[in-house]
Structure 1
Amino acid sequence: MADMSRRNFLRSAGILGGGAAVATLLASCGDSDTSDAVQSGAVKLDFWTHDPGYVKTYTTSANNANAAKAFPFTFSLAVTSLAADAVVTKLIAQAQAKKGTPDIAGLEVSQFPRMMKQNIAPSVLVDWSAELSDEQKGDLLRLADYTVDGKAYALESDTCPTVLYYRHDLFKKYGIPEDVETWEELQTAAKAALRAGKALGICCNGQPGAALGTFRQLYQQRGLNLFDESGKPSIDTPEAVEVIQFMADALKSGLFTMVPDPYGAPNGAALKSEKLIATFMPNWYNVYGLQANVPKQKGLWRARVLPKFSAGGGIGAALGGTGFAVVKDKPNTKASIDLVKHTYLTKEGQLLRFKTAGYLPTMKSLYDAPEFNTYADPYLGGQKVFPIYKQIAAEAPAYHQSAEAPKLIDTLGGAIQKAQTGAISAAQAVKDAMAAYESQTK
């Protein structure tokens, strides 16, 4: 399959789009290619990913490890580039066939629920919980995203903290303070901009997953997520109704504008025409959303923490991510574990990841490291952004997953889209979503 850039994948998947149904899995998913584990020497690792940024990162990491003679292995990669959903589809198929599985695979976070079905992840993947020290577990962010029954089967690549990107020059022009504390205060402060037809955020009417992306980020600000730690839906709440109503009201007032998704031509046109002068999205949107669509606006944008809801909550939110997993019981399993650890569990590896592809540290302790804190983002006018990321990373609630996530994404995302247009109330959207989800998961 042709290589797919991260931006194109995000557009097509809507971040949270559900994948195809998982096929019935055999009781054991071991790879029949296995033999005695390789302990040293040259190893070529089968490496599957949807994002060329990871190829660059891991290739450089492998070369650095080889040069430093940090391991008894000499690493090289055999890269297979697939769409994010195809990585999981092919991984499951090859595990069933008991041959042809990768050594290392990047699992996009919205696709991981497919690995939670029918004991797939425990049958196929290395349990990182057994590979990490207690200190490492306490320092790593976002282990919950790839956890099944208390065990983590992938290591996250990026914390993906959501910020409010805003046009510094236009906020000044329309008299919008850059330090407004709440969404409600922002609405009031932006009256002149709204009268001029400017919007400060988006809602989406494309795929249900795109609509849910907006909801999820705002819902996390209220301290909640789609599922609780036990894997049960946690959307039948007053906070969910509040957030959906806020989205509908923001569209009605003009604070937000409607686009199919945050990546396509309509959103790009809104940025270029200066109709959209602020938007809340994760750190990676700087490159894949703003710079990709409006490179000539370099230096005009800034980032800040999200305004809070006056009813409660905080600034913590995140969206997107990819966890790297190692297939167990293969000849190169030990070498694969060593390379992932070198890339993701060392200061040098985390700094390399940031320099090569912009992935933020996933170790809490590194948010105080000068190598990161002194970074001045050229697109954001030389702004030092890590103090902002650190605040968000400390507050973002754990994102618990469920094997049934695609069903909730479709039902809730569709209901939110109806509420955005006023076809149903926010309370009815939650009620309808829960009813549809329960009927599909009996």
Structure 2
Amino acid sequence: MKKLFLLSALALATAAHAQGSLSGTVTIWSWDVAAKALQSTVPDFNKKYPNVKVNVVDLGNQNVYDRGLAGCAAGGVDLPDIYSIENNEAEVFWARFPNCFTDLNTLGADKLAKAFPAFKWTELTANGKRYAMPWDSGPVAMFYRRDLYQQAGINPASIRTWDDFIAAGRKLNTKFGNKVKMATIANGQDDEWFRMLANQNGCFYFDNDASQVTIARPGCVTALTTIKKLNDAGVLAVGDWGGQITNIKAGKTASAMFGAWYEGTIRTNAPDQKGKWGVYLMPASKAGGVRAANLGGSALAIPSSSKNKEAAFAFLQHALGTTQGQVAMLKSQGLVPSLLAASKDPYVAQGQAYWGNQKVWQTILGTLGDVPQARGTQYFQDARQVMIVVQADYLKGKYKTAQEALTDAARKISSATGLPVAK
């Protein structure tokens, strides 16, 4: 009877959607450019559903997270109809408050599952329930200064592996007297390069069942070994988030590797460098290896306490489940679509003026299907804090090998989380 009831409810909801009879107010909590991007989808949504008022509230990233935790702890009190959540933090909510959010399968999300790459669902699904729908993603790309590469005699098309990247960096050092480096790494501040390289090699802090610490496995060893080679070759600068932007603006780095959302960071912070930048795929660990990874990305969830779930899900379907909605956010704020069909949109195939008229979105979105799955789990921040220190210590010579460093990291992460180290 329960299954029959859910199917009947879904049928009624679908009929209501078709007639455009949904009404009421849908309140969304989000932040910064993400909030602006959501707002850009509202006019077309209201053409379908004129009686639904969408209220996008920009609370700031940390405030959304903190108020979400507080609201769930209070049994769903004062939560919005739609809640923005970063993938890396999502499992904190599913683990601590499994009843705080709606299983979107009951509203029809299971029918949209194959419309998104598998890696985007990994952190949004628990115990067979889909707690959130994929929003933007962070397919990794290498952004580079065309002019600086040309002056150093570097052809980006020839950079296929990390060894090729190091060879190019040595050319750059020679040309500019070590005053321009290939890229900036936040060593001692973050482990984002390790996460990107580990992901491309099919490894992460934890396994996809969130049951073991897997950071000492071969793919992660390869990632950390590569970072040591890059560091020892002297082709990287070191700087935090602000330092990386400063280096870009000053022309002290010729490349930047991040999730594709960094496109907007470069474009808005260095508008005077329009036409000087291009994009190529991240190098592989070996010839013919994977040249794709993901860093960052968010999702939208519907709190169980929402009084307007069907209208909220209709908005999710429009903003996230249609090419129209996803591309509107790409145009508006540079949010990279997770929806696979969006990669076929004509806008994606257009050259972008800032990037020397290169079809950068076609290049970047073309990697979505190649990104290996990875799971942050509820312990993501615990593991990240351990790895930031271990990576920095390894580069300083505290450990003899990457394997030794990651074996120690695994032990510390296991101690912090209670999860066993994978054999």
Q: Which residue is 1:186 aligned to? A: 165
Question: Which structure 1 residue ranges, 5 or more long, are not aligned?
Answer: 1-36
The residue identity in structure 1 corresponding to 2:254 is: I
Contact 1:223 1:313 in 2 (8 A): no
The residue identity in structure 1 corresponding to 2:209 is: S
Partner residue of 1:92 out of 64, 69, 73 = 69
Distance 2:92 2:397 in 1: 33
Cα drift, residue 134 of structure 1: 5.2
Distance 1:257 1:371 in 2: 35
Distance 2:56 2:250 in 1: 43
Cα drift, residue 184 of structure 1: 0.5
Distance 2:187 2:405 in 1: 15
Contact 1:204 1:417 in 2 (8 A): no
Cα 1:316–1:132, aligned 2, differ >3 Å: closer, same or farther? farther
Partner residue of 1:81 out of 48, 59, 76 = 59
Cα 1:97–1:294, aligned 2, differ >3 Å: closer, same or farther? same
Cα 1:57–1:193, aligned 2, differ >3 Å: closer, same or farther? closer
Q: Which residue is 1:54 aligned to? A: 34
Q: Which residue is 2:24 aligned to? A: 43
Q: Which residue is 1:352 aligned to? A: 328
Cα drift, residue 135 of structure 1: 5.2
Indicate whether 1:297 and 2:273 are aligned. yes
Cα 1:225–1:313, aligned 2, differ >3 Å: closer, same or farther? farther
Q: Which residue is 1:246 aligned to? A: 226
Indicate whether 1:366 and 2:336 are aligned. no
Contact 2:382 2:416 in 1 (8 A): yes
Contact 1:63 1:75 in 2 (8 A): no
Cα drift, residue 321 of structure 1: 1.0
Deviations 1:137-169 (A, max 9, x none): 112131113222232211222221111111111
Contact 1:105 1:326 in 2 (8 A): yes
Distance 1:287 1:125 in 2: 31
Distance 1:269 1:59 in 2: 30
Deviations 1:231-253 (A, max 9, x none): 13221112222221221221121
Cα drift, residue 133 of structure 1: 5.7
Cα 1:234–1:312, aligned 2, differ >3 Å: closer, same or farther? farther
Indicate whether 1:200 and 2:200 are aligned. no
The residue identity in structure 1 corresponding to 2:372 is: P
Cα drift, residue 123 of structure 1: 0.4
Q: Which residue is 1:418 aligned to? A: 393
Cα drift, residue 392 of structure 1: 1.4
Q: Which residue is 2:252 aligned to? A: 275
The residue identity in structure 1 corresponding to 2:281 is: V
SS, match of residue 161 in structure 1:
strand
Contact 1:107 1:324 in 2 (8 A): yes
The residue identity in structure 2 corresponding to 1:420 is: L
Aligned length: 391
Deviations 1:316-365 (A, max 9, x none): 11111111111124312221111111111112212212222222222212
Contact 2:162 2:226 in 1 (8 A): no
Cα 1:311–1:409, aligned 2, differ >3 Å: closer, same or farther? farther
Cα drift, residue 106 of structure 1: 0.6
Q: Which residue is 2:307 aligned to? A: 331
Distance 1:392 1:225 in 2: 19
The residue identity in structure 1 corresponding to 2:299 is: G
Moved over 6 A (4+): none
Q: How does 1:156-195 map to 2 (within 5 A)?
A: 156-179=134-157, 180-195=159-174
Indicate whether 1:124 and 2:105 are aligned. no
Q: Which residue is 2:209 aligned to? A: 230
Cα drift, residue 78 of structure 1: 5.5
Cα drift, residue 230 of structure 1: 0.6
Cα 1:239–1:229, aligned 2, differ >3 Å: closer, same or farther? closer
Distance 2:258 2:72 in 1: 35
Indicate whether 1:103 and 2:84 are aligned. no
The residue identity in structure 1 corresponding to 2:410 is: M
Cα 1:213–1:219, aligned 2, differ >3 Å: closer, same or farther? same
The residue identity in structure 2 corresponding to 1:185 is: D
Contact 2:37 2:335 in 1 (8 A): no
Q: Which residue is 1:33 aligned to? A: none
Distance 1:422 1:356 in 2: 45
Cα 1:41–1:363, aligned 2, differ >3 Å: closer, same or farther? closer
Cα drift, residue 433 of structure 1: 0.9
TM-score, normalised via structure 2 length: 0.86
Q: Which residue is 1:10 aligned to? A: none
Percent identity, aligned pairs only, is 24
Question: Which structure 2 residue ranges, 5 or more long, are not aligned?
Answer: 1-12, 419-423
The residue identity in structure 2 corresponding to 1:258 is: V
TM-score, normalised via structure 1 length: 0.82
Cα 1:154–1:245, aligned 2, differ >3 Å: closer, same or farther? same
Contact 1:419 1:429 in 2 (8 A): yes
Distance 2:205 2:407 in 1: 14
The farther-off stretch of 220-229 and 330-339 is 220-229
Contact 1:223 1:314 in 2 (8 A): no
Distance 2:42 2:144 in 1: 38
SS, match of residue 372 in structure 1:
coil
Partner residue of 2:359 out of 381, 384, 395 = 384
Cα drift, residue 126 of structure 1: 1.6
Deviations 1:76-127 (A, max 9, x none): 305251333x323212212332421111111122222321323x1x301122
Indicate whether 1:258 and 2:233 are aligned. no
The farther-off stretch of 188-197 and 431-440 is 188-197
SS, match of residue 303 in structure 1:
strand
